Chain A
Amino acid sequence: MSALLAADLAPFPVPSIEYSAISPLIAIFGAAVLGVLVEALLPRTARRPVQLVLTFGALAVAFGLVIWQRDTRATVLEGAVTIDGPTLFLQGTIIALAFVAALVMAERRVDVAGDDFAPRASALPGSDYERDLTRLGWLQTEVWPLLLFSIGGMVLFPASGDLLTMFIALEVLSLPLYLLTGMARRRRLLSQEASLKYFVLGAFSSALFLYGVALLYGFAGTVSLSGIAEALTDDAQQYGLVLGGTALVAIGLLFKIGASPFHQWTPDVYQGAPTSVTGFMAACTKVAAFGALLKVLFVALGGVRWDWAPMLWVIAVLTMVVGSIVAITQTDMKRMLAYSAVAQAGFVLVGVVAASPDGMAGTLVYLVAYGFASVGAFAVVTLVRDATGEATHLSQWAGLGKRSPLVAGVFALFLLAFAGIPLTSGFIGKFAVFTAGVASGAVALVVIAVVASAIAAFFYIRVILLMFFHDPAPDGPAVVVPSSMTTIAIAVTVAVTIVVGVIPQPLLALISDAGVFVR
């Protein structure tokens, strides 16, 4: 029943807690707990404004705290958490992305019935009860504490100093996501199915992760990342444990990343989840999971680089190729973006496979570029609607450029960024990882990545073609004018996509100043 920890049984040292280093975490988790209390104690009508203030306030404060801590390089909480340059960068990225994504979640003008979430997720889809709630205009406010917990898990994920903390972070970030996935206001059954699939597969991957942790513990006698690294520097006799542990831990993380062949949940979940949540998930989960992957691979398992690099090599190829090719046939916008996310994960993996400081920097740049474009793209998807909700079928997007040139243009920008066209952020990301890949000798991988990019460009540009060079259907969907929430979100993502594409130097300098993970 009880998990056995590796702590010494000798008189228990009182852990010293460096509050400043973990202050962003405290801000987010604190607000999340307060959010739960708000749900329990405040009258229903008062909850939403309070939750919004809590959420955005906590995120803003946490972002400020990350900036305040920017020079911290420390191992805190008895080694459970390590704060360093890349970690802080990842944390800042996650919080910023989450802030923007949360703006889209807070939107309540685009859907006549309210916001993106079912008024009560437990109500039977299509029941009178649900209809009554919708008629009364109930809004689900539990999503906010759930969101905060998830963000908290994500912020902790790359900061983990040992594998158990990482596992806890993994669960804390995942469980709320499973719930949020099932809360779409429209197409409830699809949403619930997605939630179930995500939960089952996610739980499975978590179990594998834990199994891997156990094997690594069996090898090193510790779950601490630096401890494992130290054990590896000794003569590695029990090589099999390391290999097995590495593989299983990597699988657990690759599941969250959505790398092939562990990507299959992605399209179903991205499609079923409320679109604003999909945007959040696509961006933040990926950043957090890649951060954790980098941390495990570079800090703990740098010594067996020659073993995991080939494995990731194969997975990167598979991910890029499968994602790009399968995306071609998709007829649903959200599913297409899901496969595009898979392909993008493959490109990011090129930077990881490079296994060099350049590769890591490239990965981080790519994540920023992809994350913002992703949130933006899904935000745009929420705006194109017909009477039944979002119009996600590709054919419904035909001629959008003529009806709403601005929205279509913005979407085209995101697609160009995904395709890696110069002067968008996507190019900088692709270029950075490809350069790192070539420099580390993975030329063949980069060539495959290039072929995959060309294929990916094909379907991105086909959508642009569809929007601008086709005539709109007479009964096609309309573009809804959102409130300032979504407008700000889209504006920010557009700005980041262009600015990172045109003047990326400040971002690149920030990343190179961030240096490498501390041990």
Chain B
Amino acid sequence: MLLLIAAQLVAALLAPALVRWWGPRAFFALALVPAATFGWLLAALPRLTAEGAVREQVGWIPTLRLDLDLRIDALAALMALLVTGVGALILLYSRWYFADEREGLGRYAFSFMAFAGAMLGLVVSDNVLLLYVFWELTTIFSYLLIAQYYDVRSSRRAALQALIVTTFGGLAMLVGFVLLGAVSGSYQLSYLVAHPPQGGVAVAAAVLLLLGVLSKSAIVPLHFWLPSAMAAPTPVSAYLHAAAMVKAGIYLIARMNPQFAALPVWRWSLLVLGAAGLLVGAWKALRQADLKLLLAYGTVSQLGFMAFSFGIGTPQAALAGVLLIVAHALYKSTTFLVVGAIDHATGTRDLRLLSGLGRRAPLLALAAALGIASMIGVPPLLGFVAKDAVYEAARGTLPAGPGPVVLVAVTFLGAVLTVAYGVRFWWGAFATWDPDRPEADRARPTHAVGRGIVAAPLLLALAGLGAGLTLPWLGPALARAAGTPELEVGLWHGIGLPLLASLAGLLGGAVLVVALRRRGAVRALVPEHLEAQAQYRRLMRGLDRVAGEVTGATQRGSLPFYLGAALVVLAALLLWVLLAGGRPALPGGWEPWDSPAEAWVAVLTVIAVVAAARSRQRLAAVLLVGVSGYAMVAIFVMRGAPDLALTQALVETCTLVAFVLVLRKLPKTIRHRHSGRQRARRLLIAIPLGVLVAVGGAVALGMRTAPAISERFPGPVYDFGGGRNIVNVILVDLRAWDTFGEISVLLAAATGVASLVFLRRPTGSPPQLDQNARRRTALPAQHRTFLRGGLAVAAENRSVVLELATRVLFPTMIVLSVYLLFAGHNVPGGGFTGGLVAGLALVVRYLAAGRYELGEAAPIDAGLVLGLGLLFAGGTGAAALLTGGAVLQSTIWTATLPLFGDVKLVSALFFDIGVYLVVVGLVLDILRSLGAELDRREESAGAAPNAGGEPAR
């Protein structure tokens, strides 16, 4: 069996080449493949009857329990026979239908063969996951087949619509299968049918499976894709939309019915939706002028009828359903192929234009007549037998179902409508309407209906007749397929309700046809906007619109917006944590403040922050932000942490300087103003988030269970680090590795800033630093002045007071910085702080007298300072190795020196010197690049405006 499916797929791969070589005649060869399968199945039938089922199992993906697990029982064999038999005949038919077409034929042949293979696989799969795989494959290949004439827009849309609807249904079905598998522990179809799960899971699975079934078998309300799919070539419609694909859903119903018939949701869905499909489809079929659309709606109607029949739930009903499947496959493919032949010969399918075809193509008319007769239930055709069986089933019903009266009434009504559109089809296609008028008016004059093209529909029609006549032999096999071998299938049950109802239905249909003809055109009873097709369109449009709006609303490319969205989520999460996190207690011993002055500091901070947010001046805004930093300094001081306060103050100052250096190159005022609403929105995010973060932080502190690591610091700080300033000893000893890493980062950052600013070479070697900016500039020494660099500054820009003050301050600051460096181990200070002070001293020089003064103050390369610093720090670490210690281990020497008294020298001091140098280097680097270099450019740009941005050297 697996081989046969594989053969089908191999044939599919070869098909394009065959078509290229042999043209449409290749279809003869291709038809052999399904025909062979058909033959194999026939030959296997006796064995099937004897053994009940033939199995074939090959492992594929055992981990996912997805295996090639095939099982042919009576039902599968019946479906497979239909799929292959009808498939072979339609391939034969294609040879004539596509006789004059070349383009796209290879793709058609491939898709058709592949589809047939997938369909075959679908009906013989015993693994539900495998079934799903084949199910999706049929969807995809059907898509290709429907889109055969893809240059027609409606054709593409129809194909896409069919694909979307059935893919969605298929995925839902997959979940249903997975659910069943998860509960019952097996993905084997036969096992699932034999061991139905119970309860809510079964209901959920049933609903999900139904979604798949409805979409695939075009049952109301998911039927709308089928009429649109008539854009496909007619042989495709005959196969997909009559015999094969749409039957996949019905097949699944037939399979699962024994398991699910006990579930009201399953049965009622089938009954209600089936009945709706039966009546709506038939009614709409009656309104069509296009023969093919008429058949399409007829198919919707008949598929609904099958679902309805299975929905009754009794064994008799199951039998009736299976009979309907077979009968429908035969007569509907017949009629589709007839329409194809008509279309091919006359170029139209409009029954208002066709006339006199019955005389010109008697064989075709005969095939159509047989097909229609079966459809409307004329004895002794198979269609009659099937309808008869439905009436029989409708008389008995399960408890908690609708009464027999309702069931019979629905069946009868459906039958009347079916007769009406069936008769209309045949009459419209073949009757001679107006013998006086030349046919040329009515339809394009074309060639006669060929002989070959009639063969397939005629054979199928005769099969319908033959099946009816050979029922005594065929009946038991069909009953076995329905799983009801005990029931008898016969042509003649005596005169009873079924027969009478059938005959009354025929009569009613005839009356309806006459009545409708008299009333002229059939008017629409269903308003257009209620139609499923329109709903689908609306859904898709809505989806497009929602997508557009969501994109417009959320994806503006605005960074503040993105950040805002993330912050809102963060706030929501924090709130959730605070509410759900159990005991939101503040830590014990909390008090508002140590001294009331702290409250004033807080108030000041708040005012400054608000003012900063409102400021229109960039500089003012930065300064106001700085206030919060200095407020922290105040808090540190009040809390008795002078070392932290000192460091914080210096860092804040240096940051401000860097800020100012950059900001002076930007426009002074912030021109872009946010609207009031924007600001309100931001406030709405900012304030709650700020509150939540603060409260969250406080609560988190109160919740911590682990003791703070800092409590263990004081001892080691003195014992190992040899110092009393904890902060400093942490930096240079306990966590010296961290510090070392951080000063490396600092160095890299400084280099990065500098290289960005100094980059200006068009091509050639890597950018080199401008000599003037980094080295002292020789200035004439004849003038005596406070700061020599000031000579290079224009007189109106100089401030004597500032220069004088700087002259005095600078040495003092340097001394202070050195003191801080050395004293830092025990009292507030340290290399970091000292470095910052020295850096600030340089800042003062630069601010007082411009860029040349910087060169005067620090006539060395900033990179050299940075490098030296890192070398010192690293060297200290490495030196410890020489003395036999671990890396960065401190050594303490004590000595008594004259004048100084007792001196205690800790090796960490050298490390601290390294830190000092790095910090000084960093500040120097910033001044040199963001300060002096930018000044220089401004000057040269002012001096030579035509230089085009490339500063003259």
Q: Which residues of B contact A438 (CB under 8 A)?
A: 175, 178-179, 182
Q: Which residues of A contact B578 (CB under 8 A)?
A: 240
Contact with B along A240-283 (1 / 0, CB 8 A): 11011001100100010000011011011000000000000000
Is the beta-carbon distance between B61 and A2 smaller than 8 angstroms?
no
Q: Which residues of A contact B150 (CB under 8 A)?
A: 468-469
Is the beta-carbon distance between A509 and B63 smaller than 8 angstroms?
yes
Contact with A along B933-944 (1 / 0, CB 8 A): 000000000000
Q: Which residues of A contact B762 (CB under 8 A)?
A: 128-129, 132
Complex Cα distance, B702 from A239, in Å, reads 12
Contacting B at CB under 8 A, from A308-352, are 311, 322, 325-330
- Look across to chain B and name the residue whose beta carbon is closest to the beta carbon of A362: B64
Complex Cα distance, B567 from A264, in Å, reads 13
Complex Cα distance, B62 from A237, in Å, reads 45
Q: Which residues of A contact B584 (CB under 8 A)?
A: 240
Is the beta-carbon distance between B175 and A431 smaller than 8 angstroms?
no
Q: Is the interface of B mostly helix, strand, loop or mixed?
A: helix
Is the beta-carbon distance between A1 and B569 smaller than 8 angstroms?
no
Contact with A along B523-558 (1 / 0, CB 8 A): 000000000000000000001101110110011010
Complex Cα distance, B582 from A436, in Å, reads 31
Partner of B763, one of A133, A240, A446, A447: A133
**Which of A3-11, A64-72, A388-396, A485-493 participates in binding chain B?**
A3-11
| A480 CB within 8 Å of chain B | no
Q: Which residues of B contact A458 (CB under 8 A)?
A: 160, 164, 543
Most buried by A among B137, B706, B712, B716: B706
Is the beta-carbon distance between A450 and B172 smaller than 8 angstroms?
yes
Is the beta-carbon distance between B577 and A244 smaller than 8 angstroms?
yes
Complex Cα distance, B711 from A9, in Å, reads 11
Q: Which residues of B contact A428 (CB under 8 A)?
A: 61, 64
Q: Which residues of A contact B832 (CB under 8 A)?
A: 1
- Look across to chain A and name the residue whose beta carbon is closest to the beta carbon of B730: A2
Is the beta-carbon distance between B61 and A208 smaller than 8 angstroms?
no
Q: Which residues of B contact A1 (CB under 8 A)?
A: 731, 738-739, 742, 832
Q: Which residues of A contact B129 (CB under 8 A)?
A: 431
Complex Cα distance, B763 from A136, in Å, reads 9
Contacting A at CB under 8 A, from B293-337, are none
| A45 CB within 8 Å of chain B | no
Complex Cα distance, B576 from A201, in Å, reads 23
Complex Cα distance, B547 from A465, in Å, reads 20
Question: A215 and B716 in contact (CB under 8 A), knowing A122-B759, A251-B570?
Answer: no
- Look across to chain A and name the residue whose beta carbon is closest to the beta carbon of B705: A238
Complex Cα distance, B921 from A100, in Å, reads 43
Is the beta-carbon distance between B577 and A240 smaller than 8 angstroms?
yes
Is the beta-carbon distance between A251 and B569 smaller than 8 angstroms?
yes
Contacting A at CB under 8 A, from B118-174, are 129, 132-133, 136-137, 140, 143, 147, 150-151, 156, 159-160, 163-164, 167-168, 171-172, 174
Complex Cα distance, B168 from A423, in Å, reads 18
Is the beta-carbon distance between B551 and A326 smaller than 8 angstroms?
yes
Question: A508 and B175 in contact (CB under 8 A), knowing A2-B739, A264-B565, A325-B546?
Answer: no
Partner of A240, one of B63, B548, B559, B583: B583
- Look across to chain A and name the residue whose beta carbon is closest to the beta carbon of B129: A431
Is the beta-carbon distance between A244 and B174 smaller than 8 angstroms?
no
Is the beta-carbon distance between B709 and A240 smaller than 8 angstroms?
no
Contact with B along A418-442 (1 / 0, CB 8 A): 0001110001100110110011000
Task: Report the interface size for chain A: residues with CB under 8 A from the other chain.
Answer: 87
Complex Cα distance, B171 from A373, in Å, reads 21
Is the beta-carbon distance between A326 and B550 smaller than 8 angstroms?
yes
| A443 CB within 8 Å of chain B | yes
Q: Which residues of B contact A248 (CB under 8 A)?
A: 573
- Look across to chain B and name the residue whose beta carbon is closest to the beta carbon of A321: B550
Is the beta-carbon distance between A435 and B178 smaller than 8 angstroms?
yes
| A512 CB within 8 Å of chain B | yes
Is the beta-carbon distance between B566 and A262 smaller than 8 angstroms?
yes
Complex Cα distance, B708 from A221, in Å, reads 9
Complex Cα distance, B762 from A122, in Å, reads 12
Is the beta-carbon distance between A329 and B763 smaller than 8 angstroms?
no
| B581 CB within 8 Å of chain A | yes
Partner of A329, one of B551, B699, B704, B759: B551
Q: Which residues of A contact B795 (CB under 8 A)?
A: none
| B204 CB within 8 Å of chain A | yes
Contact with B along A117-153 (1 / 0, CB 8 A): 0000010000011001100100000000000000000
Complex Cα distance, B570 from A205, in Å, reads 10
Partner of B547, one of A208, A325, A422, A461: A325
Complex Cα distance, B136 from A316, in Å, reads 25
Q: Which residues of A contact B544 (CB under 8 A)?
A: 328-329
Is the beta-carbon distance between B581 and A454 smaller than 8 angstroms?
no
Q: Which residues of A contact B548 (CB under 8 A)?
A: 329
Q: How far is the CB of A207 from chain B (nearest CB, A)?
A: 11
Q: How far is the CB of B497 from chain A (nearest CB, A)?
A: 44
| B563 CB within 8 Å of chain A | yes
- Look across to chain B and name the residue whose beta carbon is closest to the beta carbon of A444: B204
Most buried by A among B163, B709, B886: B709
| A453 CB within 8 Å of chain B | yes
Partner of A422, one of B133, B734, B738: B133
Q: How far is the CB of B721 from chain A (nearest CB, A)?
A: 11
Question: A3 and B569 in contact (CB under 8 A), knowing A197-B562, A465-B156?
Answer: no
Complex Cα distance, B632 from A419, in Å, reads 55
Q: Which residues of A contact B700 (CB under 8 A)?
A: 214-215, 218, 240-241, 244
Complex Cα distance, B207 from A450, in Å, reads 14
Complex Cα distance, B170 from A457, in Å, reads 12
Task: Give 9 A-B contacts (CB < 8 Å), ordered by A residue.
Answer: A132-B763, A200-B559, A218-B706, A221-B707, A326-B551, A431-B64, A458-B164, A461-B163, A509-B63
B positions within 8 Å CB-CB of A: 59-64, 66, 129, 132-133, 136-137, 140, 143, 147, 150-151, 156, 159-160, 163-164, 167-168, 171-172, 174-175, 178-179, 181-182, 204, 208, 543-544, 546-548, 550-551, 554-555, 557, 559, 561-563, 565-566, 569-570, 573-574, 576-578, 580-584, 696, 699-701, 703-707, 709-710, 712-713, 716, 730-731, 734-735, 738-739, 742, 756, 759, 761-763, 832, 886
A positions within 8 Å CB-CB of B: 1-6, 9, 12, 122, 128-129, 132-133, 136, 196-197, 200-201, 204-205, 208, 214-215, 217-222, 237-241, 243-244, 247-248, 251, 255, 261-262, 264-265, 267-268, 311, 322, 325-330, 421-423, 427-428, 431-432, 434-435, 438-439, 443, 446-447, 450-451, 453-455, 457-458, 461-462, 465, 468-469, 471, 503-505, 508-509, 512
